Amino acid sequence: MRPTPKLLLIGTLTVIASSCASEKINSSGDSYTGFDAWRTSTRIAPFAAKGSVRALHDLFLATYTRASDPYLGGEDLEQMCSNLSDVASSIGDEQFAAGLKLERAEVINSVRVIGSGCLASFPRTTLIISNTPKIKLPIEYSSDDIRTPLMNALMKQEG
């Protein structure tokens, strides 16, 4: 009997969950390389620039994922800011802002934090960001040099 998609999904999730549970967390870095929001952002940006609504949403989620990381960045944040600006330029401020307006406040705040230097020339986007209640994200705590439980755990694991 052929499994239904629902059963197949549950089976797949079980395999993924069991492989994640069996992986040991260690500081040697043998197998786990981590999720890279910068690479995801860079991979998705061209699709969002062509007008894909799903890609635009995923671009915002990659931005949120990076802003949720307490580590300060450099070139990765600059590139993600550039990706946001390039997409906004390609699809226009109105469409970019309309997509952003559909997101949760945390996601909009991540665009505020990461896109602050490159989205200033987009008035509708700036309006959406300024009208959203400000939520302080983990990357902002690091820039203020405030230790959080997450940062303490990550630093402890790194040794």
pLDDT in tens, 20-79: 444 455 555 556 567 789 999 999 999 999 999 999 999 999 999 999 988 777 889 999
CA-based nearest residue to 88, from 38, 123, 43: 123
pLDDT mean across residues, the chain? 82
Single pTM value for the model: 0.73
Give residue for tokens 């991979």: 43
Question: Looking at residue 81, what is its pLDDT?
Answer: 96
Q: Which amino acid is at 153?
A: A
CA dihedral 93, 97, 98, 104 (to 10 degrees): 160
Measured distance CA(128)–CA(100) in Å, rounded: 8
